[in-house]
Structure 1
Amino acid sequence: MIRIRRGVAKEIISCRPGITELWVSVEGNREKAINYDNLTGPVKAGDEVLLNTTAVYKKLGTGGAHFVMGNLSQTDRDVPEEGHIMKLRYSPCQVKILAVEEPDSPYADVMQQVESLEGTPVIIGTLHSMIAPVSAAIKKLTNSAVRVAYLMTDGAALPISLSKMVRELKNKGLIDTTITCGHAFGGDLEAINIYTGLLACKAVAKADVIIVAMGPGIVGTGSRYGFTGVEQGEIINAINILGGKPIAIPRISFADNRERHCGLSHHTRTSLGKIALTKSTVVLPKLEPDKMALILKQLEDSTISQKHDVAIIDATPALEALQQYGIKVTTMGRSVEQDPEFFLAAGAAGVYFSHQPSAISRQL
């Protein structure tokens, strides 16, 4: 169910491509709202708007703002003729996109022909914040010689424009192309599913390395299988089906107060230990001996070390890369200084890739 209220736009806070943040007056309060310009059109002060207030009403961290469902002060809007694929299908918010694989696409012939990733490395994360240290490490250690594609899944936020991080990484040249697959939308390229999304990264974006992760706002319940990060295991299977080289980012933290996320998160233990049916390389950062011992035991107990290849690498260049590029990133509200192991674990995959022969050859 959706909690709907009328409000009035009072002030524009900020604008970036595809999204406007604003203050609205609703139920006698001044509160923050988000308008997706490509969905509901532009908004200005004084406009009467229809708001989805559910997340704020439920005090949820994810989506902690109202969302504009419609601008009642706006005239009719039309859409481009190209494309006929709908995302958010059969909902009031269904979005028409031009999918990279559909006949109207300029890349339709390319997508008809490509069937394999041909050994392309694919780095798979579970949280959106992981993409920053990975991409920063890759570009720093390869002197920007490799092309990086980011494939955003529909495991969390669906509009890629919500992510300030993606915009910053693209502006700084750390991500070259974005692709949104499933019901996620708004990337440089649109794909119908994870398979065509991966193939588009290879054949259309010409990526040397692919980073796959959901947008902001993972969904979780604390139960073994009740979280959207289970997609990591399924994506590993898809990569192997398509002939790629999966590199899995483990979720590691010693700053999270929740026992299930201490050391190697239960998310990783489930995704890699249970969901993934095929092999990946799991890259660990070098840590203090006691922390390393706990993680290695958790890998053993969850069968991850039996099912996957495990690499241990010095990941400090990833943190140096974040500092070099001036990237401020947090996870669950914690900074790099507050939760260094999390960001070392994410960045380790980027460092690992940069040491592979395929990455080194691109620099020569």
Structure 2
Amino acid sequence: MALTDGGSPAGAPGTSAGGRVRGVVYADLLGEVVVGDRVLLNCNALAKDLGTGGLALVVAVLGRLPDVAPTEVGHLVKARYTPLQAVVLGADEQDSPHHAVLEEADNIDGMPVVAADLHSSLPAILAGLRASNPGARAVYVMTDGGALPAAFSRTAAQLREHGWLEAVVTTGQSYGGDFEAVTVHTGLLTARLVADADVAIVTQGPGNLGTGTRWGFSGVAAGEALNAAAVVGGHGIATLRVSGADPRARHRGISHHSLTAYGRVLARFADLPVPDLRGQPGVPDELAEMVTVQAAELVGDAPQLRRHEVDPAGLMEALRDCPVRLSTMGRGLEDDPAAFLAAAAAGRHAAAVLDRIDLRG
């Protein structure tokens, strides 16, 4: 992926005074774009002034064909039947060197699988995990509820650079990870049996689709991911989406996304780490109490959830030491500390689960 500048009608959202916009070109699909090239831009997200993905996207370089050779092996088609569909080699397909390992694979040996609604939870979960177990091998399993190209996530790339992530596995229609998989199920098996993960973190790529309705949001996949984890022998951990700063009432305290994904979609047993937010910097007492009450109500209505209290001591320090920028819905750690503490608590609980099992035996 590369950023480029392109022309756009003056006055369009995201347009500079000179009528120029920032755009994204996926060089692995289109080849390199150089100064002077005329390009076809998709400006739909730019016109909507989206907070995530509000950029122009290069669809084609006009006047020449992409200088990208088709893949010689692999037949998984992702972003299927769109003009920029990608053909990739899946870890689980017949031409893969990992096919023999995955062909009859059915168990990930109780590996902790942490599911979250938002991509922004990923670094915070890792901060909590590493605060208790800095040597744990973590793999990100990316679903297709948000951005499809893994390259769009600067967060994942930077976490890889800093050694916080061992690998990225892209599943469903998402593509571009270190390993490709057809489903979340094979993505988890790939994380454990191919990438040698101790912990898998499952969430969508950057971007989140929501409609303000009970069921119309991409984060329902968090509950589905935990169902998949249970099916293949994982230890599911549900990350609470919490906010003390979101202007929308349905997301204050524990978000309705978590209440639906874990209270209604989740059909298998999973752990629900709940941090004690009382006395944490920047967290009002009334918010801490709200989270405690909402968590009790959620567990009371959902017998598949096993509540675990998590001591947040030291998690703010761990979050402040995170090597990547923490941001959720445009708010940073100091703006909405409860959001990141809840995610870090899930990571800390994953470390505790890991301590009780022997994945290296």
Task: Report if TM-score (shorter chain) is over 0.5.
Answer: yes
Aligned pairs, number: 345
How many Å separate the matches in 2 of 1:57 and 1:223? 24
Counterpart residue number, 2:141: 151
Residue in 2 aligned with 1:24?
6
Contact kept, 8 Å, 1:153 with 1:212, in 2: the verdict is: yes
2:76, 2:21 → 1: CA distance? 34
**Equivalent in the alignment of 2:27:** 37
The Cα offsets for residues 6-45 of structure 1, whole Å up to 9 and x where unpaired, read as xxxxxxxxxxxxx111111123511111101111111111
> Which of 135, 159, 164 pairs up with 2:154?
164
So what's the TM-score if we normalise by structure 2?
0.90
Distance 1:173 1:69 in 2: 33
- Identity rate of aligned residues, in percent? 36
Aligned partner of 2:101 among 97, 105, 110: 110
- The partner residue of 1:358 within 352, 355, 359 is 355
How far is 1:138 from its partner? 1.9
Q: Distance in 1 between matches of 2:3 and 2:309?
A: 42
Query: Which range moves more in the overlay, 26-35 or 188-197?
Result: 26-35
Ranked by relative contact order (alpha carbons within 8 Å, sequence separation 6 or more), the top structure is 2
Shift in Å, 1:62? 3.3
Identify the residue that residue 79 of structure 1 maps to in structure 2. Answer: 70
The one-letter code matched in structure 1 to 2:159 is L
Shift of 1:283: 0.6
Distance 2:359 2:182 in 1: 30
Tell me, yes or no, if structure 1 residue 315 matches structure 2 residue 312.
Answer: yes
Give the counterpart letter for 1:352 in structure 2: H
SS of residue in 2 equivalent to 1:116: coil
Which one of 288, 294, 298 corresponds to residue 290 of structure 2? 294
Distance 1:334 1:62 in 2: 13
Equivalent residue runs for 1:271-282 within 5 Å: 271-282=261-272
Alignment of 1:88-107 (within 5 A): 88-107=79-98
Shift of 1:300: 4.0
* Partners of 1:115 and 1:242 within 8 A in 2: yes
- Give the distance between the partners of 1:338 and 1:361, measured in 2 at CA: 39
Name the structure 1 match of 2:341.
Answer: 344
What SS does the corresponding residue of 2:23 show, helix, strand or coil? strand
User: Can you list the C-alpha shifts for 1:141-173, whole angstroms capped at 9, x where unaligned?
Assistant: 2232x2111100001000011111111111111
Q: TM-score, normalised by structure 1?
A: 0.90
Consecutive unaligned residues of structure 1, counting only runs of 5 or more, are 1-18
Distance 1:357 1:252 in 2: 24
Query: Deviation digits for residues 324-349 of structure 1, max 9, x if unmatched?
Result: 34332110010101100000000001
Give the match for residue 257 of structure 1.
Answer: 247
Which stretch of structure 1 is more off in the superposition, 59-68 or 151-160? 59-68
Q: Determine the C-alpha separation between the residues in 2 that align with 1:362 and 1:56.
A: 46
Q: Which amino acid aligns with 2:128?
A: A
Q: Judge conservation of contact 2:48–2:54 (CA < 8 Å) in 1.
A: no
Greater alpha carbon shift after TM alignment, 215-224 vs 289-298: 289-298
Tell me the secondary structure at the aligned position of residue 120 of structure 2: helix
Residues 109 and 359 of structure 2 are in contact (CA less than 8 Å); yes or no, is this contact kept in structure 1? Answer: no
Q: What SS is found at the alignment partner of 1:309?
A: strand
Per the TM alignment, residue 236 of structure 1 is displaced from its structure 2 partner at its CA by 1.2
State the shift of 1:192 in Å. Answer: 0.6
Contact 1:142 1:360 (C-alpha < 8 Å) held by counterparts: no
Partner of 2:321: 324
In structure 1, distance between residues paired with 2:357 and 2:335: 33
Greater per-residue strand proportion: 1
Cα 1:76–1:162 change in 2 (3 A) is closer
Moved over 6 A (4+): 359-363
